[in-house]
Amino acid sequence: MMRLRINGAEAEVAVATIAELLAEQGIDPKARFLAVAVNGAVVRRTEWPMAALAAGDNVEIVRPFQGG
Amino acid sequence: MTDPLVIAGTSFSSRLIAGTARYPNQQVMLDALEASGTELVTASIRRISLEGYSGSLVELLGDRYKILPNTAGCVTARDAILTAELAREALETNWVKLELIGDRELLYPDVEQLVHAADELVRKGFTVLPYCNEDPVSCQKLVDVGCAAVMPLGSLIGSGMGIANPTAIELICKRSTVPVVLDAGIGTASDAAQAMELGCDAVMIDTAIAKSHDPVRMAAAMRAAVEGGRLARLAGRIPRQRFAEPSSPQLGLVGS
């Protein structure tokens, strides 16, 4: 288990990559209209299966929402 | 397409850009967007709710509209740039409505950060449409760094106060070499028509439609107002004059 920050909240997860993290959070890694940043940098979806996460990483998982 | 709005080489027949926020429900939003005739709608970029990953706005909108992601809520250039990059990744679009706020209560742009962020995003290949304050100098700076349009505010976001400084908007329109989109503060149809009569190329409307008593009807009103204002602008109005000039001929009056 390792401690990460996901969307502003501390979390303990047992995953190694972004794709695994998404799946563990109930999100289909192949879903469209999603984007992920780790430590302030966007990680492209083609890299999600490979991108390794480390303890203390700050992860943002976002999607389009209502807006003006 | 007659009299299209052209932004960064893309043509639109509608000069009304619509927001997707603050509607009473999703169906009203969809019906209002349809009634408005818009072809370009804005969306924010927000964290997914980890409690339940529900269906997306984009899927709801379908292919009917081009989506313009915004960086609403960002107060630093760094956050705005990251949000734009996340938007590009999520929506596969280079277009971004850049919003960089300098005051959380007034939601006025932070011009210095805005120009810096716009510059960097243009270099990264984005098509940048910045929400900006209503002064010709700031607008020119944004044009100079390569923005595809400028979006000066009419009045405070969501305020419905209309166009507070029509002279400034008119000057911006006169000087600008890129399309001018009046963005923020429109309250009702006459404000939208006024924007077009002042020379704006388009208007951006969210709250005035979404929070009206009948959003679908207001959307239709806004559509008519934007079209009417544009036609009036193209038609060339009469000048204002400080004296009367009778419209009926002065000769052949009964009893003369």
SS (H, E, C) B206-221: CHHHHCCCCHHHHHHH
Which among A32, A45, A60 has CB closest to B47?
A60
Calculate the dihedral angle through the C-alpha atoms of B188, B227, B176, B81, rounding to the nearest 10 degrees.
60
The predicted pLDDT at position B49 comes to 80
The answer, for A27 touching chain B at a CB cutoff of 8 Å, is: yes
CA dist B156 and B92 (Å) reads 31
The predicted pLDDT at position B151 comes to 98
The answer, for A25 touching chain B at a CB cutoff of 8 Å, is: yes
The predicted pLDDT at position B256 comes to 84
Beta strands in chain B (DSSP E): 5-7, 10-12, 16-18, 40-47, 66-69, 95-98, 127-132, 151-152, 181-183, 202-205
What are the boundaries of each domain within chain B? 5-47+57-235
Positions of B annotated as catalytic residues are 97
Q: What is the enclosing helix (H) or strand (E) of A35?
A: strand A35-38
Residue A67 belongs to a domain: no
Residue A15 belongs to a domain: yes
Q: For chain B, positions 204-243, list CB contacts with chain A under 8 A.
A: 204, 206-207
Determine whether the interchain pair A66/B207 forms a contact, defined as Cβ–Cβ distance below 8 Å. no
Question: Is B71 in contact with B80 (CB distance < 8 Å)?
Answer: yes
Residue A8 belongs to a domain: yes
Cβ contacts from A onto B, under 8 A: 104
Residue A68 belongs to a domain: no
Q: Chain B: residue nearest A37 by CA?
A: B86
Longest dimension (CA), chain A: 40
Span A17-54, pLDDT tens digits: 999 999 998 888 888 999 999 999 999 999 999 999 99
CATH architecture assigned to B5-47+57-235: Alpha-Beta Barrel (3.20)
The predicted pLDDT at position B62 comes to 83
Calculate the dihedral angle through the C-alpha atoms of B69, B133, B192, B170, rounding to the nearest 10 degrees.
-130
The predicted pLDDT at position B32 comes to 98
Determine whether the interchain pair B207/A61 forms a contact, defined as Cβ–Cβ distance below 8 Å. no
Q: What is the pTM of this model?
A: 0.95
The predicted pLDDT at position B22 comes to 96
Tokens 């302030």 appear where?
A40
pLDDT tens for chain B, 256 residues long, are 899 999 999 999 999 999 999 999 999 999 999 999 999 999 999 999 855 445 588 988 988 999 999 999 999 999 999 999 999 999 999 999 999 999 999 999 999 999 999 999 999 999 999 999 999 999 999 999 999 999 999 999 999 999 999 999 999 999 999 999 999 999 999 999 999 999 999 999 999 999 999 999 999 999 999 999 999 999 999 999 999 999 999 999 999 8
Count of domains forming chain A: 1
Which among A7, A25, A64 has CB closest to B57?
A64
The predicted pLDDT at position B128 comes to 98
CA dist B19 and B130 (Å) reads 15
Could you tell me the two tokens for B77?
Answer: 């250039």
The burial class, CB within 10 Å (0-12 / 13-18 / 19+), for B115 is: buried
Calculate the dihedral angle through the C-alpha atoms of A40, A44, B69, B126, rounding to the nearest 10 degrees.
90
The predicted pLDDT at position B51 comes to 52
Determine whether the interchain pair B21/A32 forms a contact, defined as Cβ–Cβ distance below 8 Å. no
Closest CA to B150 of B167, B171, B164: B171
Domain that holds residue A22: 2-62
